[in-house]
Amino acid sequence: MVWKLKLFLLSVITGVLTGIAVIFYVFLTKALSYLFYLGEPLTTIPNLPFWYVFFITTSSILVVNLIILYNEKAKEYGIREISEALEKNRLTFSSSDLIMKIVASSLSIGSGFAVGNEGPSAAIGAIIACKVKKFFNLPKELLKVAIGIGASSGISAVFVSPITGILFAVENVAYSLVKDFIGFMVLGSFSSFLIALMYLKPIIFNYSTGKNIHLDYLVSLFLFIPVISGGIYVYLTLRDKVLFYLNSLASEKLSPLQRVALVSVLGGGTVALILKVSPYGGFSGHEVVSALINGSFHLPLSVILILVLLRIVSNAVSLYSNAVGGLFITLMSIGALIGYGFGEWLKTFNFSVEPFYFAAIGAATFVGTVMRIPFTAVVLALELTYDYNVVVPTGFVVSVVGFLASLAFDLRKGFLRRSRPS
């Protein structure tokens, strides 16, 4: 049929264009961070004066808020929201909207705000897919399919992990469409993956043992469940309280420009302070995850605890400041820190375990639970590590912890089921 041929072409074209767009977006973000902080930020920020870091964070988020003020489509939309809005003709995107989204997100992440680049990447893919769908004049009934293809292409490219991209789209957009259209998502995801693979690097787990199971990890897994559950509870509760407090500071009597100025100063100042305490407390968290799951450096438990709190606060402040970016890699970084700290704690009791294994399990479990994407979490663990000591525990823990968390939180919104803080 003609529409199937068009959908085939849409998948390939969307994958290729999304791969190119995501590569440009990632490189732009990295270039801005090096430009802003005069070199590798994690190395240079400790040596820069506070006023300079404050100027970078505040001016960057001010520009982002001004962009959003005059073009609301530049802000971060979830893939579900984009899908529903487009389906009801409540939202349209132009090429300039796409460019503004890339610029706003690159400024947010490049200046040190704790949001990830996977959310905008999925949105970039979805927007490109919608444009290609319109070009091929495909029926409206295939809109969600196109968005699923685009979202999977974006995630596949930014993580350089094709299967993770497919599962992300399935769990967020196209669950009911899997039977008939999963093949096109595979095509789009692998097309963007092949393009991204030439220029971007995936997070790689250097210590994989494949299918060799170590019993010490399985036994200690039951101790890890209450620890990671507690970490998720602290994250959601503290984030809720920080957001509630910051929002209460902005009076409704302020004009839009006054509110933008207040949000930028509060957000920029707080993130600047966090970056000066530790640069690892800000930015997307990609470097944190990569370093922890590969044991690149040793961190004492006290430092891990401080970094977990810094990243939770910086993420809440980034969301309050309207920083354009996603939660995926940021949540992974918090989970990796908790998992690594748990592994270090076990070693003090002579458990024969390595902290980087629990860093990988914690990273996948945290994002899978908070974002309600358990399948994606398991596949992410598989594609990152290819190690059953990570994949099997992740599947078990994300299911149990997800159930426990759902008893106290509305995970769709990420807030307490109980009353909001007063």
pLDDT for res 308: 94
Collapsed DSSP state (helix, strand, coil) of residue 193 = helix
**Of 197, 231, 249, which residue is a domain's last?**
197
| 231 lies in the same domain as 127 | no
**Of 197, 232, 252, which residue is a domain's last?**
197
User: Is residue 421 domain-resident?
Assistant: no
Which tokens in the block code for residue 142?
């295939």
Question: pLDDT class for 96, splitting at 50, 70, 90?
Answer: confident
pLDDT for res 114: 93
**Domains in the chain, number:** 2
Reported as type and span, the H/E element at residue 113 is none
CA 165 from centre of chain: 12
User: Is residue 202 domain-resident?
Assistant: no
User: Is residue 208 domain-resident?
Assistant: no
260-264, 380-384, 414-418: which range is least confident on average? 414-418
| 262 lies in the same domain as 311 | yes
43-57, 335-349, 407-421: which range is least confident on average? 407-421
Distance CA 61, CA 265 (A): 9
2-6, 43-47, 234-238: which range is least confident on average? 2-6
Q: What is the mean pLDDT of the chain?
A: 84
| 167 lies in the same domain as 102 | yes
Distance CA 44, CA 37 (A): 6
| 160 lies in the same domain as 261 | no
| 183 lies in the same domain as 280 | no
Contacts of 42 (CB under 8 A, 6+ apart): 279, 280, 283, 287
Question: pLDDT class for 92, splitting at 50, 70, 90?
Answer: low
The CATH number given to whatever domain includes residue 12 is: 1.10.3080.10
Collapsed DSSP state (helix, strand, coil) of residue 409 = strand
| 191 lies in the same domain as 300 | no
Q: Please determine, for residue 314, whether its predicted confidence score (pLDDT) is greater than 80.
A: yes
Report CA-CA distances (Å) from 349 to 57, 151, 300, 353. Answer: 42, 44, 15, 10
Q: Structural domain of residue 190, as residue ranges? A: 2-197
Question: pLDDT class for 176, splitting at 50, 70, 90?
Answer: low
> Tell me: the pLDDT tens digits for 355-405?
888 999 999 999 988 888 888 888 888 888 888 888 888 888 888 888 877
How large is the average pLDDT for residues 4-22?
Answer: 91
Reported as type and span, the H/E element at residue 213 is none
| 129 lies in the same domain as 238 | no
**Of 144, 162, 197, which residue is a domain's last?**
197
User: Is residue 422 domain-resident?
Assistant: no
| 78 lies in the same domain as 172 | yes
User: Is residue 203 domain-resident?
Assistant: no
Looking up tokens 């602290």, which residue turns up?
234
Closest CA to 169 of 18, 68, 28, 322: 18
User: Is residue 252 domain-resident?
Assistant: yes
| 150 lies in the same domain as 267 | no
Q: Please determine, for residue 88, whether its predicted confidence score (pLDDT) is greater than 70.
A: no
How large is the average pLDDT for residues 216-240?
Answer: 85
| 190 lies in the same domain as 164 | yes
Q: Tell me how far apart the terminal alpha carbons of the chain are, to the nearest angstrom.
A: 59
| 258 lies in the same domain as 383 | yes
Distance CA 244, CA 238 (A): 10
| 293 lies in the same domain as 378 | yes
User: Is residue 249 domain-resident?
Assistant: yes
Distance CA 315, CA 116 (A): 10
User: Is residue 188 domain-resident?
Assistant: yes
Quick one: what percent of the chain has pLDDT higher than 70? 89
